[in-house]
Amino acid sequence: MDQVKVLQVKQSVFAANDRQAEELRAWLKEKKIFLLNFMSSPGAGKTTTLKRTIEMLKEEFHIGVMEADIDSDVDARAIAQTGAKAIQLHTGGMCHLDAEMTRQGLEGLETEDVEFVVLENVGNLVCPAEFDTGAVKNAMILSVPEGHDKPLKYPLMFSVCDVVLVNKMDVMEYFDFDLEKCREYVHMRNPKAVVIPICAKTGEGMEPWIDWLRGQINAWRA
């Protein structure tokens, strides 16, 4: 029997996306726009954290937000109430965004009047980690109810993130969650990742997060 020809399509797709991502980052640098890719599983508190983040930074930066989801515009409406510029991106059933989708989103956002843009990625811990969106930095939220062992179960997500926000610290006493174990497991995957415990609902821990983010934005735009 003749041998079957095998094409490494997945590798080709990722390689093409990586090129597009680098081109997008170069464009962002030229325009002095800081793009943050924000990821988490559903219900971890991305939108709540983002709303509080906007409130704390909106006097310093012109902020735009791209809300990615399979359907609905619920999150974009919630973000628009903060005064930030917001658009909804529908992925047509896809569980992630790639660099070209992000570029299209930035085009739709009309970035002439923004300095800091957040891409709130589709909620899951697998697909979004596989695709470079062209963002300057990657951030994710791990909520206390999800458990401190998630870095062991979803290694790629934690390996690509520059900062991990551990959200819902106000309920830690009700869950079997070990913050120090969480830090240990995150650093097993990514020794350089910054781990910041927060509670987006109460505001606990938000200042260290805002200080980190402000520093990253200013360094990129310098």
Q: Answer whether residue 1 is part of any domain.
A: no
Q: Is residue 94 helix, strand or coil?
A: coil
According to the model, what pLDDT value does residue 1 have?
47
Question: Among candidates 138, 113, 104, 103, which has minimal Cα distance to 27?
Answer: 103
Q: Answer whether residue 187 is part of any domain.
A: yes
Place of tokens 């402000």: 214
Q: Answer whether residue 2 is part of any domain.
A: no
Task: Write out pLDDT tens, residues 65-74.
Answer: 998 876 667 7
Enclosing H/E stretch for 150:
helix 150-153
Q: Answer whether residue 203 is part of any domain.
A: yes
Give the separation between CA 216 and CA 67, rounded to whole angstroms. 21
Q: Answer whether residue 20 is part of any domain.
A: yes
Q: Answer whether residue 122 is part of any domain.
A: yes
Asked if 140 and 157 touch (Cβ cutoff 8 Å), the reply is: yes
Enclosing H/E stretch for 187:
helix 179-189
Give the separation between CA 10 and CA 27, rounded to whole angstroms. 26
pLDDT category at 15 given cuts 50, 70, 90 is confident
| pLDDT at residue 7 tops 60 | no
Asked if 167 and 44 touch (Cβ cutoff 8 Å), the reply is: yes
Predicted model pTM: 0.92
Query: In degrees to the nearest 10, what's the CA dihedral of 130, 79, 101, 104?
Result: -160
Q: Which domain holds residue 189?
A: 9-221
Asked if 46 and 142 touch (Cβ cutoff 8 Å), the reply is: no
Question: Among candidates 221, 8, 28, 3, which has minimal Cα distance to 133?
Answer: 28
Q: Answer whether residue 87 is part of any domain.
A: yes
Strands 116-120 and 34-40 come out as parallel
Q: Which residues of 181-202 are buried (b: 16+ CB within 10 A; e: fewer)?
A: ebbebbeebbeebebbbbbbee
Q: Answer whether residue 174 is part of any domain.
A: yes
What is the number of alpha carbons within 13 Å of residue 62 lying toward its C-beta?
A: 11
Count the domains in the chain.
1
Identify the CATH number of the domain in which residue 189 sits. Answer: 3.40.50.300
Task: Write out pLDDT tens, residues 118-147.
Answer: 999 988 999 999 999 999 999 999 999 999
Task: Write out pLDDT tens, residues 151-204.
Answer: 999 999 999 999 999 999 999 999 999 999 999 999 999 999 999 999 999 999
